[in-house]
């Protein structure tokens, strides 16, 4: 029997850990692999149209599904997208191709919902996964992007160069391409230069990398700066003032100044005092120290417990409201 609605039932979410090793992707992931895409999708299980969101995480690779799963519980069809160091994707990358992310956008806009019987069958029989009558579920004409850290600059690049991106929320993300060169068609966006010698060394050999990133707005003709003025999508910049990985507050405010100077009004900004690089949904723990994914050393991430907890409770519904407003045309 099919559940009556999203609010009364949890989202259908099948992680790779729940399937046989030979089929170590979700049921929707099986469909994605047909398009050479790797990730997990979460559907609020109902024959209806839902706003679609792609969740893109930061450096370090792998697949983190918790944000996508939680968003699905609030009426979104979501896709947590891995882009390296996961299953058959490269373990390390020397260049990222925006076409890969473009395929993910197209996949979401064509995403079918399978019946309950078909869902159980497709988990074990990939060759029949297109044999069922689909009900198109993702509400167009565009989708939303939620990007954290490196996922933030990838989301802004997608909004600047690709079609069918309607709303973008970035959490402590740069506004320049970082670490890995990004190509799209005949264009290559070089990464912003990192200077390890600009780091600060604390006790116990824990480093502060907040000054390691050059200022993209102060480098004449900087090719790494993402042309966000080309984006037609609505943009939400979320930044923590205590971010010790990148200067998130500075990047967000300068991006908004840049957009305003270009006559754009499609942006919003949320700045949270006492919040470090990580800002997860409510009740996730604070990680003030972690491993830097580029320099492979212990790093200060920043954040104060009370401020972080309050920001979690405030920011999460703001993100949902932002996507509901611009993806539902309300």
Q: Which of 28, 40, 69, 149 is catalytic?
A: 149
- In the chain, alpha helices (H): 27-34, 66-72, 98-109, 116-122, 150-161, 248-261, 305-327
d(CA 56, CA 263): 28
With 0-12 / 13-18 / 19 or more C-beta atoms within 10 angstroms meaning exposed / middle / buried, residue 79 is buried
Residue 57 bears catalytic tag: no
CB 77 within 8 A of CB 146: no
**For residue 55, what are the β-bridge partners?**
80, 146
Catalytic residue among 43, 242, 243, 280: 243
Residue among 277, 280, 292, 309 flagged as catalytic: 277
Buried b (16+ CB within 10 A) or exposed e, 35-70: eebbbbbbbbbbeeebbbbbbbbbbebebbbebbbb
Question: What secondary structure letter does DSSP report for 243?
Answer: -
Burial grade of 306 (CB within 10 A; 0-12, 13-18, 19 or more) = exposed
Query: What is the Cβ-side half-sphere exposure of residue 269, based on CA atoms within 13 angstroms?
Result: 18
The yes-or-no answer on residue 244 being catalytic is no
Active centre residues (catalytic): 149, 243, 277
């Amino acid at each position: 029997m099919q559940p009556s609605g999203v609010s009364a039932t949890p989202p259908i979410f099948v992680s790779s850990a729940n399937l046989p090793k030979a089929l170590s992707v979700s049921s929707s992931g099986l469909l994605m692999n047909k398009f050479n895409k790797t990730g997990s999708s979460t559907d609020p299980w109902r024959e209806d149209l839902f706003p679609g969101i792609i969740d893109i995480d930061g450096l370090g690779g792998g697949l983190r599904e918790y944000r996508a799963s939680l968003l699905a519980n609030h009426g979104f069809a979501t896709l947590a997208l891995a882009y390296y160091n996961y299953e058959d994707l490269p373990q390390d990358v020397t260049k990222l191709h925006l076409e890969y992310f473009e395929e993910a956008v197209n996949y979401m806009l064509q995403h079918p919902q399978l019946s309950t019987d078909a869902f159980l069958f497709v988990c074990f029989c990939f060759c029949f996964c297109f044999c069922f009558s689909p009900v198109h579920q993702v509400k167009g004409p565009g989708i939303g992007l939620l990007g954290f850290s490196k996922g933030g600059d990838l989301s802004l690049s997608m909004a600047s160069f690709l079609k069918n991106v309607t709303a973008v929320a970035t959490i402590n993300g740069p506004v320049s391409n970082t670490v890995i060169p990004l190509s799209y068609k005949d264009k290559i966006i070089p990464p912003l230069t990192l200077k390890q010698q600009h780091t600060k060394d604390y006790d116990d050999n824990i480093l502060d990398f907040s000054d390691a990133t050059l200022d993209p707005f102060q480098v004449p003709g900087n090719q790494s700066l993402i042309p966000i003025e080309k984006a037609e999508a609505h943009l939400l910049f979320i930044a923590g003032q205590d971010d010790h990985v990148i200067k998130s507050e500075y990047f967000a405010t300068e991006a908004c100044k840049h957009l305003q100077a270009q006559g754009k009004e499609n942006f919003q900004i949320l700045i949270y005092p006492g919040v470090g690089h990580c800002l997860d949904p409510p009740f996730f723990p604070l990680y003030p120290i972690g491993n830097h994914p580029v320099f492979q050393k212990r790093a200060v991430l920043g954040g104060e417990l009370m401020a972080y907890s309050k920001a979690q409770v405030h920011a999460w519904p703001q993100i949902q409201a932002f996507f509901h407003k611009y993806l539902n045309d309300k």
